[in-house]
Amino acid sequence: MASALPFDDIRTLLNTMPGPDMEAANKARSREAVLTKPPGALGKLEAISEHIATWQGHYPPRADRTVVAVFAGNHGVVAQGVAAYPQAVTAQMVANFQNGGAAVNQICKAYDLGLKVFELALEQPTGDITQVPALSEKDCAATMAYGMEAIAGGCDLLCIGEMGIGNTTIAAALACGLFGGTGKDWVGPGTGVDAAGLSRKADAVNRAVALHGDHLKDPLEALRRLGGRELAAMAGAVLAARMQRVPVIIDGYVATAAAAVLFRADQTALDHCLFGHCSAEPAHKRLLQAMGKTALLDLDMRLGEGSGAALAAGVVKAALACHNGMASFESAGVSNKD
């Protein structure tokens, strides 16, 4: 393994990520202090504005061209009886996205967000991770590069989400491979498997992690062996956004598992990311905690497809509207404390 070149380009990017722009951060903090409200009274909305300025690297922060990128893939592991819906649903839901009928379409319309759908070789499911690696290194690196296209048209904020029957098992395997524990720690009902299905998921995760063994110590190897196309593409998108100074909102469990690959490669690699919501899929909270991250919203959602990230983008838009639009104590003639 790791003899071919493709992952080398990714490793180079991971070694040259831009850091926070403290000048933009300071400008945001200074402005928050003079706006017509008690200091800190907008809570996380203030932190959001500072975050966006810091990672856009300019001031004022903007979220006028927000893109929600949804990546869809299929998974060989469904042969292990881990999914509640047939694999055909992945392609059917892609058509639903394209026809405007899914939840994420409605949320994008409500908040004026752009939506891009990336269909990733749905007719070629990845290898069954309990038997073989999901992807070759070449395929994995190429899919990461394809995911980077999410920001190609230009945007100031990127939301990432996914669709893929069987991919909560993939997320669980990847989380287990990256952070340890056993299958039981990382699986959940997903789209709604029963107790027997849940047990099959945990077993599949345990077998996959045992099979790939020490290779999993390298996070990119873990991604290609235990991941899937939409996870590779999301990891690529998150990394490309960092390089181009586009802040990111991560969606639920599967998107977080994809992003966690970058975190395990470099603990600062997700510093430009917000976590849109905490999913009702139980292991999402565990995975966020493993990285020391907290989510903005907690609305018992567990749909994926970027829906939680898009909802959080609505909050980000309101936060920036406050930051950029509010009057100062001086301009409004409002008396300050003391």
Site for a copy of itself, rule CB under 8 A: 35-45, 84-86, 88-89, 92-93, 95-96, 99-103, 105-107, 109-111, 191-192, 280, 296-303, 307, 310-311, 314-315, 317-318, 321-322, 324-327, 331-337
Q: Closest separation between CB of residue 66 and a copy of itself, Å?
A: 12
305 flagged as catalytic: yes
CA-based R_g, the chain, Å:
20
* Residue 51 burial (C-beta neighbours within 10 Å; 0-12, 13-18, 19+): buried
Is the Cβ of residue 262 or residue 303 nearer to a copy of itself in the bound state?
303
Answer yes or no: are the C-beta atoms of 301 and 255 closer than 8 Å. no
| Closest CB to a copy of itself among residues 54, 96 | 96
Q: What is the spatial order of strands in the sheet that 114-119 belongs to?
A: 114-119, 66-72, 157-163, 248-250, 273-277, 295-297
Least distance in Å: CB of 110 to a copy of itself?
A: 4
Residue (154 or 325) nearer to a copy of itself, CB = 325
State in angstroms the smallest separation of the CB of 9 from a copy of itself: 37
CA distance 312 to 111: 10
Closer residue to a copy of itself in complex, CB, 110/210: 110
| Segments of the chain assigned E as strands | 66-72, 114-119, 157-163, 248-250, 273-277, 295-297
Q: Maximum distance among all alpha carbons in the chain?
A: 69
Instruction: Please name the residues in contact with 199: beta carbons below 8 A apart, sequence gap of 6 or more.
Output: none
Please tell me which residue in 50, 230, 281, 305 is annotated as part of the active site: 305
Active site members:
305
